[in-house]
Amino acid sequence: MMEVIRVQTSKLMRFLWLALVILSLAIDLPFAVKAKQLPLVINTWPVPSATAEAWSQISRGSSAVEAVVKGCSKCEELQCRGSVGYGGKPDEHGETTLDAMIMNGATMEVGSVGDLRRIKNAIGVAHAVMMYSKHTLIVGESAKEFAKGMGFVEEDLSTNKSFNDWRAWERNNCQPNFRKNVVPDPTLHCGPYRPAENVSSSGNHDIMDTGPDNHDTIGMVVVDSKGNVASGTSTNGLNHKIPGRVGDSPIVGAGSYASNAGGGAAATGNGDIMMRFLPSFHAVMEMEKGASPREAATLAFSRMTKFYPDFSGAIIAANTKGEYGVACYGYESHTFCVQSPADSKVEMVTVLCLQKQGNSSDRGTVYTVLVIVSSLMSLVSLF
């Protein structure tokens, strides 16, 4: 009986989710943002210094690609939120490694680096991959060697803080970590680990929280005055990740995507989930079909939350007309930065997020969404 109720509740939640999306497009919910002007710079998270740097570049005639590179580079220099650039989240071995990408929506060229070691300017190296190779993605030690050949300086990415964070994690029995189906029990002990016996895929969709205290990515979209689009990302990834792990940030269509035919999008959140669904790609494809940026960003979430209701993340999107939109899920709110000719300075905007549909609070969530949908229906009936 309880299973029947759970299934019915799940179906109701999906119906209410779709109803909320549809009704939100008819009126101006907090996660919906209206039109602006060109050129346009928009990025995830409250990092106005990155926005200002990109705006400075695009305002004086630099390309959209150059503006994204300079904007994300500024964030790397400033170690934005501790999750971008050197000295950030160490892996299980205590080393900070970097992921980044840049995409040109006019030519569809991409440059990406993953698991980059001992080179600070990750998005600069990604740009070099685009400019000086016929490849799309270079990773690990080979990415470092490529960077050195392109004139980047090798240096230690660790700081006293990242080292102390790693030692504290070790003293706490390596908790939390990203291991499963191994012995010794990874929820109680450090490694070395080996596979547990009689392991089979359980379809368990439990995921570790990757909220702002664990992992952010700067994702940026720039549209120049002619409608040329570029997007990019930079991050040092998940705290205490398994060495060699590469997240969504350098994966085309996951971390970001750009196309002059539709616009650009960038995502932040649990990269191991997002790269399975390519939300940035889907958001841009929706804009190519005529969806507004806010609609496109919201629709990109629906596929992920169907399989991973505990997922948390945000997507920014902008089209070639200077319209932009943001959708977020699982967080209470998400703050992003934007600048256009309509703004005298960088504008930081906070939007409310759609909430998780956890089993433990399905009844309360259903009630909350019912109230929202009911209220929206009442408002729509007035027009």
Whether 159 sits among the annotated catalytic residues: the reply is no
Structure tokens at 288: 């190519």
The residue type found at 127 is H
- How far apart, in Å, are the Cα atoms of 332 and each of 239, 257, 313? 22, 25, 11
Q: Which is catalytic among the residues 51, 96, 97, 217?
A: 217
Instruction: Kindly report whether the peptide bond that precedes residue 309 is cis, defined as omega within 30 degrees of 0.
Output: no
The set of catalytic residues is: 217
